[in-house]
């Protein structure tokens, strides 16, 4: 369900390669990259050339140091798709190597410095939730403490001087700095000290990881999550919203498919979760797992630049790839490009649209009403 293109995501993904801008600018003026100073003695052995070391590391170091230290490259972990975008970005900036060499670099970086597992597996939210690099989260803390904590608090939940960023729609929709970066550079007000924020690409990426980590702390899969009392709404107001402005009766009925729903679920937190995120709460949309019997599935039609359109059940979709399971039961993956058309039919589209307009008060009112359906 991603709404962000590769073109938006790539600059943030390639944030640590700021040093390459100078080389790129020189190339645009027809200038060759600056020559490396002559060596007066044999270079010291690197990790990539040590006995038993991965030869792909030597290739990565040799090509990357054309513009910047190799350590800059691996300072922040990335997903495989992000490493692919990063390498593509560097090729566009003039990095010199063969296709086979670049492919080996992507494989090496994805395996050695890949980003996986460091994400809270909560059931709510989009399928392509950004992962969090713990090292990037840690590296961002001094920056956050220096410039941001005074207004937004140590956990980004706001103070009297600044809003709660964990609940910010901009932060929620951000993908590795795609939204945070432009906002910080063009719209963020001056700091109380009078300082104007001018973050580098690397700092933007660090902030993105930090804020995503604080958001993950609020999810049920986090060890920091502590459920509170959510039955604080007005049940009568919730019923009015359910039958009126919410449009819920277009698909649901208190005496039909929702009869006894509170008794079946048995927990207010789970009830709210299923109300707001029914597709994720019922499972079947992550990792290609089959949808439970009787549950609607998301359908997707992919039309490549050449060849017939392919329709099937959506498995996963992010900024880079879309995977579906065709009528023959076999999965197929397409790389998302400008010429690839993707049309999605989501049976939970009404619930997704509701998230943009429903207020906190209305959520609590509806949950209080649904809890009366026992």
Q: Among 79-83, 92-96, 159-163, 263-267, which is the least confidently predicted range?
A: 79-83
Task: Give a yes or no: residue 186 inside a domain.
Answer: yes
Which of 172, 192, 216 is where one domain is finished?
216
Q: Which of 106, 107, 85 is nearest to 205 (CA)?
A: 85
- Are residue 20 and residue 92 in the same domain, yes or no? yes
Which of 193, 216, 239 is where one domain is finished?
216
Q: What is the DSSP letter of 289?
A: P
Beta bridge partner(s), residue 114: 78
- Are residue 13 and residue 102 in the same domain, yes or no? yes
Q: What is the DSSP letter of 294?
A: T
Alpha helices in 304-359 (DSSP H): 349-354
The secondary structure of 20-76 as a DSSP string is HHHHHHHHHTTPPPPPPPPPSSPPPPPGGGSTT--HHHHHHHHHHTTTS-HHHHTSS
- Are residue 102 and residue 157 in the same domain, yes or no? no
Phi and psi angles of residue 195, each rounded to the nearest 5 degrees, phi first: -70, 140
The pLDDT, as a whole number, for residue 229 is 87
Task: Give a yes or no: residue 261 inside a domain.
Answer: no
Give me the long-range contacts of 40-46 (CB less than 8 A, separation at least 24).
none
Average pLDDT for 298-308: 92
Judged on CB neighbours under 10 Å (0-12, 13-18, 19+), 125 is middle
pTM of the model: 0.52
Average pLDDT for 55-82: 82
Task: Give a yes or no: residue 367 inside a domain.
Answer: no
- Are residue 189 and residue 95 in the same domain, yes or no? no
Give 369's contacts (C-beta < 8 A, 6+ positions apart).
233, 235, 236, 237, 238, 239, 241, 242
- Are residue 97 and residue 51 in the same domain, yes or no? yes
- Are residue 12 and residue 108 in the same domain, yes or no? yes
The CATH number of whichever domain residue 151 belongs to comes to 1.10.760.10
Number of structural domains found in the chain: 2
In contact, 300 and 345? CB cutoff 8 Å: yes
- Are residue 99 and residue 10 in the same domain, yes or no? yes
The pLDDT, as a whole number, for residue 191 is 87
Token code pair at residue 31: 């200038």
Average pLDDT for 199-214: 90
- Are residue 99 and residue 138 in the same domain, yes or no? no
The secondary structure of 66-96 as a DSSP string is TTS-HHHHTSS-B-HHHHHHHHHHHHHTT--
Task: Give the range of the structural domain holding residue 187, as residue numbers without chain letter.
Answer: 134-216
The pLDDT, as a whole number, for residue 277 is 84
Which of 216, 233, 252 is where one domain is finished?
216
């Amino acid at each position: 369900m991603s709404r962000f293109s590769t073109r938006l995501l790539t600059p943030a993904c390639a944030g640590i390669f700021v040093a390459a801008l100078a080389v790129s600018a020189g190339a645009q003026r027809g200038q060759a990259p600056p020559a490396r100073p002559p060596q007066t003695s044999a270079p010291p052995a690197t990790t990539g050339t040590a006995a038993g070391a991965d030869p792909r590391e030597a290739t990565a170091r040799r090509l990357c140091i054309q513009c910047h230290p190799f350590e800059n490259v691996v300072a922040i972990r990335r997903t495989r798709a992000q490493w692919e975008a990063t390498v593509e970005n560097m090729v566009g900036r003039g990095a010199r190597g063969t296709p086979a060499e670049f492919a080996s670099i992507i494989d090496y970086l994805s395996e050695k410095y890949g980003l996986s597992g460091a994400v809270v597996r909560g059931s709510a939210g989009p399928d392509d939730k950004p992962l969090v690099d713990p090292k990037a989260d840690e590296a961002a803390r001094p920056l956050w403490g220096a410039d941001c904590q005074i207004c937004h608090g140590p956990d980004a939940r706001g103070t009297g001087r600044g809003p709660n960023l964990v609940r910010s729609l901009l932060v929620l929709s951000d993908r590795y700095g795609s939204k945070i970066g432009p906002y910080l550079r063009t719209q963020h007000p001056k700091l109380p000290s009078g300082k104007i924020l001018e973050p580098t690409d690397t700092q933007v990426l660090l902030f993105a990881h930090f804020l995503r980590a604080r958001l993950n702390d609020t999810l049920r899969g986090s060890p920091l999550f502590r459920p509170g009392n959510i039955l604080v709404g007005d049940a009568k107001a919730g019923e009015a919203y359910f039958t009126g402005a919410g449009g819920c009766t277009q698909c649901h009925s208190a005496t039909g498919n929702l009869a006894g729903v509170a008794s079946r679920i048995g927990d207010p937190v789970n009830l709210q979760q299923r109300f707001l995120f029914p597709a994720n709460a019922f499972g079947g949309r992550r990792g290609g797992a089959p949808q439970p019997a009787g549950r609607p599935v998301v359908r997707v039609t992919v039309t490549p630049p050449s060849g017939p359109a392919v329709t099937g059940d959506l498995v996963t979709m992010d900024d880079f790839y879309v995977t579906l399971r065709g009528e023959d039961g076999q999965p197929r993956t397409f790389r998302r490009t400008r010429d690839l058309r993707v049309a999605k039919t989501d049976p939970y589209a009404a619930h997704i649209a509701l998230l943009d307009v429903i207020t906190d008060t209305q959520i609590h009112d509806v949950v209080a009403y649904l809890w009366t359906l026992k």
